[in-house]
Amino acid sequence: VVVFLGSDMASYISGQTINVCGAMQT
């Protein structure tokens, strides 16, 4: 469970980071 949550959180953060960068570039 811990590994799953850690992986899911990492994916979520990565997605948010990409969204923020994309918004700034636009």
The pLDDT-based confidence of 4 (bands split at 50, 70, 90) is low
Q: How many residues does the chain have?
A: 26
Instruction: Give the residue, 11 or 6, on which the prediction is more confident.
Output: 11
Sorted by where each begins, the domain ranges of the chain are: 1-26
In this prediction, residue 13 carries a pLDDT of: 86
Q: Which H, E and C letters describe the chain, residue by residue?
A: CHHHHHHHHHHHHHHHHHHHHHHHHC
Q: Quick check: 26 pLDDT over 80?
A: no
Per residue in 8-24, pLDDT (tens digit) is 888 888 888 887 777 77
